[in-house]
Copies of this chain bind each other. A is one copy, B any other.
């Protein structure tokens, strides 16, 4: 059933319909509601899952020896996952305002901490502008998310320019 929900939300974002999810899962809507009190709770569980994966990925990327490459990988990975999941992309496109609601707050904090580590390495190596902070990241992910959502097939081109803007000044 989670599988069905993932597929539906990935395809339609928040517009995914409970009936559709139930159908895909081969169960009745009532059954869906026995596991999740509301549609929002279901969607939220999936976003939480995505965040967890993202956190795990960033942790992994900390092992990448090249600090610049690590940052590149983070953004690329993000775009790829966004491309596969509209709900996830929407979540990222939306929550850049710095108002981390309830349960997501903890994950966002964790993500920011990890990003800070990534940036610290990069700043030390002089491969990014020295004033780049972890708090600069959410808007960047947000912009990328909406580009992907808008269906720009060549988002790598966009990402390329975006990343260029993170390089040291001069």
Task: Write the residues of chain A forming the contact surface with B, with a CB cutoff of 8 angstroms.
Answer: 93-99, 129, 136, 138-140, 142-147, 149-152, 155, 157-158, 161-167, 169
Contact = CB atoms under 8 A, between A and B. Distances in A.
Q: Tell me how many chains of this kind the complex includes.
A: 2
Given A96-B147, A140-B158, A161-B165, 16 more contacts: A93-B150, A95-B150, A96-B152, A97-B152, A129-B164, A136-B157, A138-B152, A139-B158, A142-B146, A142-B152, A161-B166, A162-B165, A163-B165, A164-B167, A164-B169, A165-B166
Interface centre among A95, A150, A163, A166 (most CB of B within 10 A): A150
Given A94-B150, A96-B147, A140 B161 contact: yes
A169 B165 CA distance: 10
A129 to B, nearest CB: 8
Contacts of A139: 147, 150, 152, 155, 157-158
A158 to B, nearest CB: 4
B142 A147 contact: yes
A146 B144 CA distance: 9
A146 B99 CA distance: 15
14 contacts: A93-B150, A96-B146, A96-B152, A97-B152, A99-B151, A129-B164, A139-B157, A139-B158, A140-B158, A142-B143, A143-B143, A143-B146, A163-B165, A164-B167
A146 B162 CA distance: 15
A105 B165 CA distance: 30
Contacts of A129: 164
